[in-house]
Structure 1
């Protein structure tokens, strides 16, 4: 029941259905792209899969295969040299709408667009031993998943 309820209240599902107006850029069988009404910079666009899925790892592959070429077309159409493609999964990862979506955020200069600094991107130092151990663990899991 919760999934059906979220379909009827999801702002992105309503945009896809035309119940909420948008500045549509591209629409395919699997995706809908439009300008963000709260842009971080001029041209900030969203690419949303038409499948109502909350997190990217739950989304069927055909929707993922459609989304990035659309983001690329939007970046090319805008003539962007510098930009960010952003996708968040879960509240603590800054996801605000419970529907998978990709941001195409133009970065025209140092102050406009997505702004990150050391505190926003707290890189840590990892030892070669730590990396080697995690690499072995992760590749084993990936191999167990089979061919993608």
Structure 2
């Protein structure tokens, strides 16, 4: 497989690995957005969250939970981001959770600043998506 994250997991490519669990691994991002930018990934190649089995999901988010206090200690605030698929902005098709230390001088903004505008939905459209998404 030609996945850079799979090569990091198999130690074919060096990385600054911070911690490793049964199903997950985390390391410093090679192209950080801010100082201390961390990636947490599953060891098995999965493109999206919904492809993880329950054990992998629990392990991945337990590692995110473990690392968030460490990352948050850098600036006191951390962006947690997942691009769940190519259309959502995922550049490497291997699920990865970004832990990005944030502060007021980093030029990043809130999630709504990623989009040109918010959409306006009619009551019937809101009802449609409500019914589509509720469990």
Larger displacement relative to structure 2 (81-90 or 24-33): 81-90
Q: 1:16 aligns with which of 9, 16, 21?
A: 9
Instruction: Name the structure 1 match of 2:106.
Output: 112
Task: Tell me by how many angstroms 1:113 deviates.
Answer: 6.7
Change (3 A) 1:47 1:108: same
Instruction: Name the structure 1 match of 2:95.
Output: 100
Q: 2:66 aligns with which of 59, 68, 73?
A: 73
Cα deviation, 1:74-122, whole Å, max 9, x if unaligned, reads 221231532111111232321111111111011122x317435755233
Do 1:41 and 1:113's aligned partners in 2 also have CA atoms closer than 8 Å? no
Instruction: Name the structure 2 match of 1:88.
Output: 83
Distance, in Å, in 2 between the alignment partners of 1:26 and 1:37 is 16
Distance, in Å, in 1 between the alignment partners of 2:26 and 2:69 is 14
Structure 1: 5+ residue runs without aligned partners?
1-5, 143-148
Secondary structure at the aligned position of 1:37 is classed as coil
Instruction: Name the structure 2 match of 1:63.
Output: 56
Distance, in Å, in 2 between the alignment partners of 1:75 and 1:119 is 23
Secondary structure at the aligned position of 1:85 is classed as strand
Moved over 6 A (4+): none
Distance, in Å, in 2 between the alignment partners of 1:66 and 1:113 is 32
Instruction: Give the paired residue count.
Output: 132
Secondary structure at the aligned position of 1:19 is classed as coil
TM-score, normalised to structure 1, is 0.77
* Bigger CA radius of gyration: 1
Q: CA RMSD in A?
A: 2.1
